[in-house]
Structures are given as structure tokens and as C-alpha cells.
Homo-oligomer: A and B are copies of this chain.
């Protein structure tokens, strides 16, 4: 499936609208306290220019399945907080030692390493607190308990943390394709999948619907990462990331070449869209999002 010019422009408007909603909700829900330096580090990291793809995915799923995107908005914010926490940690001197992120100096460069670590810890904590608190029009405590389990599983010892640990272990080593997939299905795929699952759970989706959007999101997350690797090589440095460390790592491009990675991204997006077959036309916003992810240039 190709996306038409009109659909693309409709999608851009949708993405802008949803991004605005997510950022306004993040500002309302980020929390305050008596740790001004940590709060400043959180603000800088959370409100740097960002695509907000994960929370937007949660909103689109809730919208497609139930027509109530706002019902999942605070949970979507929790996901973005976890994602931001993971970026702060990935950039630390003991991890990727990155100086640039989202076009700006990284959190530890600006705020110091200790404050950066505390900011990441506080973001993870606040994400779970949000799900514990609940929100007007949102799901009840038993559904929110399920959201929490999904989110924790995506983060935990077979989720993002396992992906990051393997990524660090494999820096400057030759790795095979299953290992590359292991790393990125966890570092990126797990939180994409959790985003779709949270959207589905908040929309009280049936198990079959939930599995379909989870399969969609898993492949979409991997496609997103493949395209990220392509942009690092072929893009105009607009990604705003410090690419030095990436040279020490196997990427989908260094593994498969540019043409091979482009082919892989197309296949992943096709598989992703295929998972939505049962939904019919109502899932078009998710199909458009998948096409956007694979055609984006920054």
C-alpha cells in the first residue's frame, strides 16, 4: 500500500494534533517537588523537540478501537516518560557516552551525571505513579494494574533493559542478525508494543484486537529502528544525535547495506500493516502511521 498525497497531509495534521495533546498533557502531569535541579533536567529532556511516536501510537490505537483517544492520554504520557528516561540512561558516559540528543547537549552534559541518573529514575517512578493515580474518564484500577504489568514487562529483564544490556555487551563486537534483532526488538520494539497494548487495554479491546495491534506495533518498532539507522547514514544529520558511538556498533545498515536495510524496512512495514487486516478501513490511521515511519527522512 502506498500513501497518497492527500492521506499524507491528513496524517501530518493528525500527528501535529496528537503531538500537541501529548505535550500539553505531559506538562500537566510531569509533577513537581523539592528537587529543582532534577526537575530542570527532567524538563529539558522531556520537552526537547520530539516526534512523540510512542504516545501517539497509543492514542491512535485507542481512537481506532473505541473512538476515545483521551481515555489513554495519561498512560501515553507515562510511556513517553519511560522512553525519555531510557534515552537519558543510554547517553550516559558509562553507556553510549553521547554528547548530543534531539539536537541538544545530552542531559548529563548539561546537568551532570548524578542529576541525569536521578532524573531518569524520577521519570520511571512518575510513570508508574501516573498509572497508579488514574485519571478522569480513564480505566478502573484493575485495568490500570494490567497497564502497569504491560509497561513493566516492556521495561524489565526481558524488555528494554535486556536490550540495552546486550547492546552494551556487543559494542565493538561482530554480531549476527538474531542478536541485532534481539537488541532492537527490546530497545525499541518492546515500548512500541506496550504503547499499542496500553491503547488497546484502555479501549477495553478484545484479546484478538489486542494481539493484532501488538503484532502491528512490534514490526513497526523494528521498522522504525531500521529507518533510524538509514537516516544516520543517508540523512542530512538532521536527526540531531551524536553518531560517533553508532560507528562502533553493528546497525541494520552496516549489517545489510543501504539497499538491504531499505528492503527490510519495507518488509517490516508490510508485515505490520498485514496484522491490521481484520480491522478494515477504520484502521487506516495506523496504516498511514506505518507508511510515515518508513518514508520519513528525519
| A residues at B contact (CB < 8 Å) | 31-35, 37-39, 85, 89, 92, 94-95, 112-115, 117-118, 120-122, 124-126, 128-129, 131-134, 140-142, 144-146, 148-149, 152-153, 155-159, 161-162, 164-166, 168-169, 182
Contacts and interface: CB of A to CB of B under 8 A. Distances in A.
B126 A112 contact: no
B162 A38 contact: yes
B126 A128 contact: no
At the interface, is chain A mostly helix, strand, loop or mixed? Answer: helix
A153 B165 contact: no
B124 A148 contact: no
13 contacts: A33-B156, A37-B169, A38-B165, A39-B157, A89-B121, A95-B117, A114-B168, A115-B168, A121-B161, A125-B152, A129-B156, A132-B149, A133-B145
A153 to B, nearest CB: 7
Contact of A34 (B125, B133, B158): B158
B34 A122 contact: no
B129 A161 contact: no
Contact of A37 (B39, B92, B156, B165): B165
A148 B130 CA distance: 10
A94 B145 CA distance: 35
Name the 6 nearest CB pairs between A and B, nearest first: A33-B157, A132-B148, A129-B152, A94-B113, A33-B158, A35-B162
